[in-house]
Amino acid sequence: MNSPRRPRARGRSPNGPPPGRNAPRGDRIARVETYCLELPYRKAVQFHSVTEAKGQYLLVRLVTGDGAEGIAESVARPAQTGEDPRRLAHGIETFFRPLLEGADPFDHNRLWGAMGRFRACRTERALVDVALWDLKGKLLAQPVCRLLGAGAPDPVPVGWIVHGDSARAQTREAVRAVEELGFSALKLKTWKRSLEDVAMVRDVRKAVGEDRIIWVDANGAYSETEARTILPRLAEYGIAFIEEPCEFSDVRRMALMAKALPVALLGDQSCGSLAAVHGLVRADAVGAVSVKLRRTGITESLKIIALAEAAGIPVVIGTDSESRIGALARIHLRAALPTLAPWPTETHFFEKLADDVFAGAFNFKGGCIAVPDAPGFGAGIDWGKLEKYRVD
């Protein structure tokens, strides 16, 4: 049976590199492709500010003259970030494709610096960075975790983020995630701004037992007064972190809250860059840091992790609502760095998707994801599925 015809990508240059360049050698980047996708969820997901039945994604593919590929994906949720796949694709095609086509993928640091000149394209830069790591692994026939210093890594523990609009719904979903799906940690959404959040955490802790790692995320919903009076009550339930309890007007107020809470304040949205994390650490405004690849790629994330390690602050690899393609990139990063233990990654969203465009081996068992021994991240593209879910 003939394999499905690959759909034409945005940004493909059918006539070769731009004028004035020599044709790229086999190990150089010949094409930069972008694909806008809509992937269905198993059921509608209730986020803090939006409910969705499907997710919008951008897939980036860097292809060498010899046909080796590096791929990366990012969710695009316009209601939360103002980004959609088409906008991200436009940034990559307009600003980054001229830098990348004909370039040596091992000239990674120079490319990273050149892309950094376009300050409004942080997500686009992070996506290309992840794809470059995947491409280098494939060109060297090595898993990315080995390029990052891992030997034979153990399976990576992962956590489930519980979405729900009521305490009962969150408790029920938490129990299912642990007992039926086997996830080893939980992040609970505390959006009610009342003792109902405390009761929900209490009920979940009682239902899943004392040995499960649990942290909570308020998504900035609490006022500072509410956070000071309600959230300290969570400490008796063995909570590891309280993530982004408030939308702080400045880093000083965030530092005062971090000092007041009996549980470490986990920075997320506030940790969008190395410079931002440096400022928070210096101000004692965070007790833990969430690293997300759609913000800082792998290259900048490594610097943030090193900074946090020097400060004695835990790091959690956060979720970007990734499919199995994006999940494996996060698993390789977590597997390579022993300092990230014991905290599970938040890589869970592959279970909330009804389908994706992943091709390859994906082994989730016993609350952990096995690190593939394949080159790169071990993720390929199912071209038939891509054609099915691609949108113009």
Alpha carbons 252 and 341: distance in angstroms, whole number:
29
pLDDT at position 80 is 73
pLDDT score of 214 more than 90? yes
**pLDDT bucket at 178, cuts 50 / 70 / 90:** very high
**pLDDT bucket at 163, cuts 50 / 70 / 90:** confident
Mean predicted lDDT score pLDDT of the chain: 91
Span 23-49, average pLDDT: 84
Alpha carbons 36 and 392: distance in angstroms, whole number:
7
Over pLDDT 70: what percentage of the chain?
93
Q: Which of 302, 290, 301, 362 is nearest to 326 (CA)?
A: 362
pLDDT digits (tens, 9 = 90+) for 275-284: 999 999 999 9
Q: Looking at this protein, which amino acid is placed at residue 293?
A: L
> Range with the lowest mean pLDDT among 2-6, 92-96, 308-312?
2-6
Over pLDDT 90: what percentage of the chain?
83
pLDDT score of 95 more than 60? yes
pLDDT score of 4 more than 70? no
117 Cβ partners below 8 Å, 6+ apart? none
> Range with the lowest mean pLDDT among 8-17, 114-123, 258-267, 306-315?
8-17
**pLDDT bucket at 1, cuts 50 / 70 / 90:** very low
pLDDT at position 22 is 44
pLDDT at position 81 is 75
Residue 142, token pair as written in the block: 């090595």
pLDDT score of 79 more than 90? no
Q: Where are the alpha helices (DSSP H) in the chain?
A: 78-81, 85-91, 97-100, 108-115, 122-139, 144-147, 167-179, 195-208, 224-230, 251-260, 274-282, 293-296, 299-311, 324-336, 383-389
pLDDT digits (tens, 9 = 90+) for 127-153: 999 999 999 999 999 999 999 999 889
DSSP 94: I
* Structural domains of the chain, ranges and CATH numbers in brackets: 29-145 (3.30.390.10), 151-377 (3.20.20.120)
Strands 239-243 and 264-267, by their bridges, are: parallel
